[in-house]
Copies of this chain bind each other. A is one copy, B any other.
């Protein structure tokens, strides 16, 4: 099992007990829970087996099934295309200079621009995990322009937001990246992360997708180093 999934599990054990505690504490004022999606969610048994595997792997890794999988399983063909697109864009490209943390940071900024609750909450969690920075995602969700980012991160987000807003790109946009050891292929990477989550954000609005409660806490409690006594 990978480092990351161990870390996520650790996080989730914390998250789960907190959610249980939370529910018990707020039991007096509870209102009927909003559904995960406006659209029907098929039973896991009805889902094609390749997608079922994808879902089970995510569940294994995260300790819970992210609601995006449940929501998208309404349309298996589209879900399959989405998963493949996601993998093509998000996996580390050989020779690529963007880290997973960079990509999650981009997604948080784009989703904040679009005010997409599901993607802000889910990718802020992933941003915390990959960046090992517990506060950056909240800052970017609030206002990326005033966030505590370095010049390279600022160049990345400036480029990303131009794409998110469908602004005409000039050579100047690319050259700002080149000043920070990023190249043309990295510019494509930034652009396709933005493009994919411009799609995702709209699917979340279409379906009124609800973020899993576990996501709000995920990555906020840093995993103690092995020799820690904390």
Partner-B contacts on A (CB < 8 A)? 17-18, 21-22, 24-26, 29, 31, 34, 38-39, 74-75, 77-78, 80-82, 84-85, 87-89, 112, 114-117, 120-121, 132-135, 138-139, 141-143, 145-148, 150, 163-164, 166-169, 174, 184, 187-188, 191-192, 194-196, 198-203, 205-208, 210, 213, 216-217, 220-225, 228, 230
Tell me the nearest residue of chain B to A197, going by C-beta.
B199
Interchain CB contact under 8 A, B199 and A132: no
Interchain CB contact under 8 A, A120 and B145: no
Give A163 to B143 CA distance when docked, in angstroms: 15
Number of copies of this chain that the complex holds: 6
Q: Which B residues are CB-close (under 8 A) to A207?
A: 188, 191
A111 → B minimal CB distance (Å): 8
Interchain CB contact under 8 A, A195 and B191: no
Residue contacts A-B, CB under 8 angstroms, 26 given: A24-B225, A26-B132, A29-B132, A38-B169, A38-B174, A75-B188, A77-B87, A77-B88, A80-B88, A85-B85, A114-B166, A115-B145, A117-B143, A117-B147, A135-B213, A135-B216, A141-B141, A143-B168, A146-B208, A163-B205, A168-B208, A188-B207, A191-B205, A195-B200, A196-B199, A198-B198
* Contacts A39-B184, A77-B84, A199-B199 known; 6 new A-B pairs at CB < 8 A: A21-B230, A26-B132, A78-B88, A121-B139, A146-B168, A166-B202
Give A223 to B203 CA distance when docked, in angstroms: 36
Q: Which B residues are CB-close (under 8 A) to A114?
A: 166
Give A25 to B210 CA distance when docked, in angstroms: 32
Give A138 to B205 CA distance when docked, in angstroms: 17
Give A223 to B21 CA distance when docked, in angstroms: 9
Q: Which B residues are CB-close (under 8 A) to A196?
A: 199
Q: Which B residues are CB-close (under 8 A) to A187?
A: 206
Give A150 to B115 CA distance when docked, in angstroms: 20
Q: Which B residues are CB-close (under 8 A) to A216?
A: 134-135, 138, 220
Within 8 Å by CB of A195, from B112, B142, B206, lies: B206
Interchain CB contact under 8 A, A192 and B206: yes
Interchain CB contact under 8 A, B166 and A205: yes
